[in-house]
Structure formats: C-alpha cells, structure tokens
A = this chain, B = another copy of it.
Amino acid sequence: MEETAAHNKKLRAGIIGLGCRGVSMTGLLAERDDLDITAVCDVYDDRISMMQEKLAADGRARPVGFTDYNELISSPLTDVIFVFAAWEAHVPAVVAAMRAGKPVAFEVGGAYSLDDCRLLVSVWEETHTPAMMLENCMYGIREMTVTEMARDGIFGDIMHVDGGYMHDLRSEIANGAKNRHYRLRNYLSRNCENYPTHELGPICRLLGINEDNRFLTLSSFSTAARGLNDYAARTPGIDPALADAHFAQGDVVTTIITTAKGQTVKITLDTTLARPYSRGLTVHGTRGFFCEDNLSVYTDDTNSEADHFRWRNFWGNFDGWIEKYQPKLWRDYTAAGIKKGHGGMDFLVLDAFITSVKEDLPMPIDIYDAAVLMAVSPLSALSVSKGGAPVAFPDLLNGRDPASIPRCEGIYSLHRTAKKTNP
C-alpha cells in the first residue's frame, strides 16, 4: 500500500548546527533506521568535515556539507530539517524550513523579539508545515509523572509552581571564544531569562497553557553580574580578560508569570554561580505539594499533620510516586531498555517528532507552544530594563480558540485535551 510505502520510506534529514549539541543529537539521529542524514550545515568548515568523516567512519553515507542553511533547506537532498544551531539562528531557519514546506524540529532557546514569535505563528498558519520545538524536558520522567499526578487531582487546584534552569555553565561560557559557543556573546550583550523552556515547557502542560489557561503578565528581576568575572579571575586556562569584562547578563534572573486562573509561576535562571544542577520544579496545590529539590510529595491524603514538621523523613518519597504515576510512554521505554541522551529525554523528543512526521500527526509541541515559551526572553528583557515592571503577555494564539488547534494523540501526546494514553 502507498501508506505503508510512505511509512517505510526513509526520511532524508538536513542538520543545521554542528556544535556540541548538534553533534550529540546528530549521533542519536544517525542510529535510526528510518532516517538518512543527507546534508549537514555549520558556519565552520571544520565542523562540517568532522561530521562528514564521523558519519562515514560509522558506515553511513557521507552527507553533503553546507555553510549556508538556506541552501541546505532548499536543497532537493533534504525532506526534514533539524535546527541545532545557535539561538540566534533558530527563528530564521525554522521560518525558512516552514516556507520550503519541510517539516522542521528545532532546539530550545528564547526568542530575541516578540515579532519573531509572531512570525513563527503566522508562517505556520500560512504553510501548516510541521514544526516542533525539541523541548526534551517535556518528556522527562519527573515532569511527565508530576503532570499525570496533577491530572489525577493529587495536588487539588494548583496555585503556584516554581521551576528553573539552574546549571553552572561558567566553564562553557568562559571558554566560549575557544569553543565558538554562542552563550558567551549572549552573556556579554543581553540580560534576560534567556533559557526558559526546560522548566516552563513542562509547567505549561501542568497548568494547561494554550489549553484552558494562558499567561497574563511577566515580571523579571536581575541581579548584578559577578559570577563569571570571579570565575575567570581565579580559574586557570580561562581568558584573563574575562575577569574584567562587562557581562550584561545578571547572575540570577527571577521571573514571575501570572496566569488567567489566578496562579503564579516563578522561574529562575541561575547559570553563572557555583551550585548543583536543578530544574527546581515545585507544585503548590490546595491538596498536595511536590518539591524536586528533595524529590518529595506531601498530600492531605497521604500525610498526617505530624509530617508537617518532619519533611526530612520523606525526602525522596517521589520514587514511589514515579512507580505509580509514570506515563505509559516511560514504562514502555524503560522496558525496552533504551535510554539515550540526558537520561532518555533526547531520544524521546526526537522520536516524537519523527513519529509525528511519519504518521502525519499534529506536533505534540506545536508552534503556539513554542511561541509562548520563546516569548519569555524578550518579555523578560523588557521587564528587567524597566526595573521589574510587569509586562503584558501577548496572546500568541492571535485570538484563536485553543480547542481548534489540532492535537497530537497517542503515545507522544502532551496536551491535556488529547486522548489520555495512561491506562
């Protein structure tokens, strides 16, 4: 049958961006049987050669190299496009791919303007080309489990949620010149919540954003920037000029978002100080509470009043809730024994995109979801520049009824309005 033939036909993938993330994600794609990597693109020739040689050495066909992503996108060699490039290239590359009618998956990052977010939406509405943000943490087992618990009413009404991207990136940023990494130039020139999606993507599903809820206002507050200067001044091998460089990006940016349902969301960017990694999810509901930083759950049903002052006794009890509430996706995935990339999330998010393209399903993380997440960065830059004044969160659905948005169903479904996949 033609349908089966289409399913069996290998996708020909063009890869844009061969930095650290691009290499890692391309490695996962190269292991797939349903996809050939036919073209790769980077602004640096040596990265192209490196990837061509790596794939050839692994027994795959040697992809054609491009230094201009527009050529890769328009090339007849490619059917689907993966954008792993620097943040600045995401929107123009995704827009070009959508206009070329080629399904496109793109790495996470904030936008540089609200106009760019609106452009993503309007080009998608013109073209309906499948486009999916690869927000891997939306497939994280903790995040998905907490969302299942929320949908089962464990937390009652959720009133407040915290999240964060709290990741000590001092080495990555301070070595940015050597490694040609875009974070360095961003941290030198820009001050905002520059990386909101890892925590806010899952939080959007938890709160039903773009379903029956929306963000209303956003306020961001930045500290001064001292972490990178201090790190550069005392760390061997780091460009000593960075000890006195003026970094625009504050060490900690705290952002408060209000929702149409009277909730608050607090997200934290904390990437240039000494600290352990965390996405810091907390859920504060009328009947229950979750805290990622000690992996505990407390509910009216499962805890006694005496537990209130004995939190330490149940640190780590989330393990039991994962057993009970993890989605079918994760049960199957764990049973299959394949866990690749960031504990498995990278494989899942890539597979979600490829499966949806092959089966002609709506994207589980769609352009409206991406636009809302990416809008946080320019909105936070504006609020920071106004001393934390609240700014209105624009309606990136253009007044569209969320119920009219096509939803992905099946194992990779993320929206609440989709058919439930948990048994």
A240 contacts the other chain (CB 8 A): no
Given contacts A159-B226, A160-B223, A230-B287, contact A254 B274 (CB under 8 A): no
User: Roughly how many angstroms separate A293 CA and B389 CA in the complex, as a whole number?
Assistant: 30
- Contacts of A394 on B, CB cut-off 8 Å? none
User: Roughly how many angstroms separate A206 CA and B70 CA in the complex, as a whole number?
Assistant: 53
A263 contacts the other chain (CB 8 A): yes
- Contacts of A307 on B, CB cut-off 8 Å? 276
Other-chain contact of A160, B171, B270, B289 (Cβ < 8 Å): B270
Given contacts A159-B251, A223-B264, A276-B289, contact A256 B388 (CB under 8 A): yes
A264 touches B222 (CB 8 A): yes
- Contacts of A252 on B, CB cut-off 8 Å? 159-160, 264, 284
User: Roughly how many angstroms separate A224 CA and B226 CA in the complex, as a whole number?
Assistant: 36
- Contacts of A44 on B, CB cut-off 8 Å? none
Q: Which of A300, A305, A312 has the most CB of B within 10 A?
A: A300
Given contacts A159-B252, A276-B308, A308-B277, contact A221 B288 (CB under 8 A): no
A263 touches B230 (CB 8 A): no
- Contacts of A230 on B, CB cut-off 8 Å? 156-157, 286-287
Chain A residues 155 to 172 lying within 8 A of chain B, measured CB to CB, are 156-157, 159-160, 167-168, 171
User: Roughly how many angstroms separate A219 CA and B307 CA in the complex, as a whole number?
Assistant: 32
B286 touches A274 (CB 8 A): yes
Q: Which of A277, A303, A390 has the most CB of B within 10 A?
A: A390
Chain A residues 169 to 211 lying within 8 A of chain B, measured CB to CB, are 171
- Contacts of A222 on B, CB cut-off 8 Å? 264
Given contacts A159-B226, A226-B157, A293-B291, contact A285 B256 (CB under 8 A): no
7 contacts across the A-B interface (CB closer than 8 A) = A156-B230, A223-B262, A252-B264, A254-B264, A256-B388, A274-B286, A294-B294
Contacts from A to B (Cβ < 8 Å): 156-157, 159-160, 167-168, 171, 217, 219, 221-224, 226-227, 230-231, 250-252, 254, 256, 258, 261-264, 266, 270, 273-278, 284-289, 291, 293-296, 298-300, 303, 305, 307-312, 314-316, 387-390
